[in-house]
Amino acid sequence: MKKIIKIAALSWLGLTLSVAQADEDAVRQALTKSMPTVKIGSIKPSEISGLYEVTVGGNIFYVSNDGKYLVQGHLVDIAARTDLTEAKLGGARKQALEKLGQDKMIVFKAKINKYTVSIFTDIDCGYCRKLHSEIDQYLAEGITIQYLFFPRAGKGSDSYSKAVSVWCADDRKAALTAAKKGDTPPAKTCDNPVDQHMELAEEFEVKGTPMIVSAKGTIFPGYLPAKQLAEALADENGQK
């Protein structure tokens, strides 16, 4: 009898896995057909039966198991009062930034590193310039800053051209600092990651600059003074 029950249980499990895989395949095929340019990451069952969680870069959305319906928004556990989507988005952003890599960012490294943040910046943004004018204060707080470009005026704008020129400069950090002070960098072109930065900003739903992203993928929108940012990062890491 125990053997029969065990065989039945294994058969049920196999059927469940087959159904889940079939649903995942249906979702992937439907998305690939309707959005062929979208690079789909993971597809897995969400907390709601019949709804699949789909990761695209640093973003998450939900699709019905037949691939017909797509839901954008955050999934909230009402009883626990927890935003389930935001918690997972942090991990997705973290992975997306790690995949891009530091070699495609302009990095100002703290001598004694406590925290690392990635900042989407626009050379012509006032608060971006204010933040960079205080770069030594961030470094003194042990915050390493990794810059990514997000020229808000879009591709082909003056801000975009400045970002490319800064990246192509012999000394990127010096060129960025000069540009943030209002100097126009000498026009240069080369292979650069500015378009990749902008694509990632779109996935992260960046609305303005600066936008700060912690090493855990948490977003701190807008300008934050060095000490305030250090306190927020300490709080995030349970150091208070």
Q: Could you identify the residue written with the tokens 């991990």?
A: 91
Q: What is the DSSP string of 77-112?
A: ETTTTEEHHHHHHHHHHHHHHHHH-GGGSEEE--SS
- On whether the CB atoms of residues 153 and 131 are closer than 8 A, the answer is no
The residue type of 127 is: Y
Residue 128 annotated in active site: yes
Of the candidates 23, 93, 124, 128, the residue annotated as catalytic is 128
Residue 21 sits at φ, ψ, to 5 deg, of -65, -40
Q: Specify the DSSP element, H or E, that contains 44.
A: strand 43-45
Q: Which of 23, 93, 124, 152 does the annotation list as catalytic?
A: 152
Paired with 55 in beta bridges are 60
State the catalytic residue, choosing from 23, 124, 125, 168. Answer: 125
Q: Are 58 and 89 in contact (CB under 8 A)?
A: yes
Q: Are 240 and 234 in contact (CB under 8 A)?
A: yes
Q: Could you give the angle at the alpha carbon of 207 between the alpha carbons of 201 and 213, nearest 5°? A: 55
- State the Cα–Cα distance between residues 233 and 240, nearest whole angstrom: 10
Query: How far is Cα 131 from Cα 213, in angstroms, rounded to an integer?
Result: 14
- Which helix (H) or strand (E) segment holds residue 59: the answer is strand 59-64
122, 124, 129, 168: the catalytic one is: 122
Query: 122 catalytic, yes or no?
Result: yes
> Who contacts 89 (Cβ-Cβ below 8 Å, separation ≥6)?
58, 59, 60, 217
Is residue 125 annotated as a catalytic residue, yes or no?
yes
Catalytic residues: 122, 125, 128, 152
